[in-house]
Amino acid sequence: MIKTKLVWFRNDLRVNDNEPLLSAVNRSEQVIPIYIFDSRHFLTTQYGFRKTGTFRAKFLIECVENLRQNLKALGGNLIVRMGLPEQIIPQICLEYQVTSVYFNRETAPEEMEVERLVEKELLKLDVNWRDTYTSTLLKKSELPFSIPRLPDVFTAFKTKVEHNCIIETPLPSPEKINVPANLDAGVMPSLSQLNNTSFNVDARRAFHFKGGETEALQRLHTYLWERDALKTYFETRNGLVGEDYSTKLSPYLALGCISPRTIHAQVKRYEAERVKNKSTYWLIFELLWRDFFRFTMEKHKNNAFKQQGFNNASTPKPLVSDKALLQKWIDGQTGVRFVDANMNELRLSGYLSNRGRQNVASYLVNDLNVNWMMGADYFESQLIDYDVYSNYGNWAYVAGVGNDPRTNRYFNIEKQAVMYDPQGAYQTLWLN
């Protein structure tokens, strides 16, 4: 009997530096790559938003389409289905006599529950379960502490890992992928099938994001090597207008179109061939923040989704679940120009600068006194670079119930506007 392995793609939509894919190819005669548009991801949330809004859905479709193209270039293909993984994966395993399922493990509660349901069904079929954890820059197994002993303050985490962890070299892509001759690949869903809505492009958006590994690698190359923009990243990272104030890699990282190790390897090459400075360090520093939020959620689990957060030492101030105030914030109708400009950009483009996110989050929590969970829920629906770890980690941080020794992280919005938009160019752009 031909040995057939199944590779379940989730938030690792790439062929480069993809351990589950490479391991499956090396250990079998043929593989079946599959991506499932989980129907639960397109339901309405507790606060009335689509869990995956229009911008996110469009970007996701592009990423999956590109993954299929890149697998085909290696001789393979990608099965695409819509539904529930715990139902679809066992069916595929039976149909193609799969002996093992390879996948990248997640550590957020909802994602872990889906893994549990899939594993439960595969045990009934005597199908092996091969999980890895490759979404972070640092390997969890090499951390200088166990997850229960993970520091709750980033500085302590950073100090320990910078002196004790070695970052591995990215893995190559498979040279060739063999899939069953009778593979039923399925049809890519349309945007209207996923969330029954139309899509309009706003010409003012900071960057023309197109999903996929090919675009991710091109953006990394352009930013570092063609435009030489990394050397000034520290000075430009709080920008608001234009393509190159930041790397614009976060949407690709969120869906795993590019790995943190690939970015790290290119930064190290840039340091060797161009310049090593605070800017190159800072990009790696921010990849460590991303790791920290992921490990933190694994440590605190469902407590990361409570209004009071996991920080039992803090005493969060009372917040209200006022939908009218929330809607004014969403619509850019607060009357505070800097906040409204940022909220317009988010609503009309699906993207927002890091500086903008901090300001609008602070304003919702500290000025409007609205429940931060409602803001996090809206971001989940809207942002094309949404990932559960960074989103809820950053919102809890701003709300003073997360990884921050200070409980009052208040932003003076007027001062921020003067500092980061001194000529009012950004506000003019998004308030017209």
Model confidence over 348-357: pLDDT tens digits? Answer: 999 999 999 9
Write out pLDDT tens, residues 203-249. Answer: 999 899 999 999 999 999 999 999 999 999 999 999 999 999 999 99
Between CA 96 and CA 6 the distance in angstroms is: 9
What are residue 50's DSSP bridge partners?
44
Domain contains 195: no
The residue segments making up the domain with residue 386 are: 306-426
> Residue 147 has what pLDDT?
96
The predicted structure's pLDDT at residue 309: 85
The 10s digit of each residue's pLDDT in 58-109 is 999 999 999 999 999 999 999 999 999 999 999 999 999 999 999 999 999 9
Per-residue DSSP letter, 328: H
Residue 158's pLDDT band (boundaries 50, 70, 90)?
A: very high
Q: Which pLDDT belongs to residue 408?
A: 65
Same domain? For 152 and 295 the reply is yes
At 197 the pLDDT is 74
Same domain, 350 and 365: yes
Which pTM value belongs to this model? Answer: 0.96
Average pLDDT of the residues of the chain: 95
Q: CB-based contacts of 402: which residues, under 8 Å, 6+ apart?
A: 296, 304, 309, 310, 311, 393, 395, 396
Q: Does residue 129 share a domain with residue 143?
A: no
Query: Which pLDDT band holds residue 115 (cuts at 50, 70, 90)?
Result: very high
40-48 mean pLDDT: 95
Residues forming a β-bridge with 5: 31, 100
Q: Are residues 273 and 314 in the same domain?
A: no
pLDDT confidence of 312, banded at 50, 70, 90? Answer: low
- What is the per-residue pLDDT for 429? 97
Q: Are 266 and 397 in contact (CB under 8 A)?
A: no
The answer to whether 179 touches 76, Cβ cutoff 8 Å, is yes
Question: Looking at the structure, do residues 123 and 270 belong to the same domain, yes or no?
Answer: no
Flag whether pLDDT at 136 surpasses 70: yes
pLDDT band at 407 (very low <50, low <70, confident <90, very high): low
Amino acid code (one letter) for 161: V
The confidence score (pLDDT) of residue 314 equals 52
pLDDT digits (tens, 9 = 90+) for 250-283: 999 999 999 999 999 999 999 999 999 999 999 9
Domain membership of residue 177 (yes or no) is no
Give residue 406's pLDDT. Answer: 64
- CATH code of 32's domain: 3.40.50.620
Q: How confident is the model at residue 151 (pLDDT cuts 50, 70, 90)?
A: very high
In a domain, 432, yes or no: no
* Contact by Cβ (8 Å): 62, 210: yes
Residue 323 sits in the same domain as residue 278: no
Confidence at 199, pLDDT banded by 50, 70, 90: confident
Closest listed residue to residue 431, CA positions, set 348, 366, 324: 348
How many domains in the chain? 3
Last residue of a domain, one of 257, 274, 301: 301
200 domain-assigned: no
User: CA 239 to CA 308: how far, in whole Å?
Assistant: 31
Residue 313 has pLDDT above 60, yes or no: no
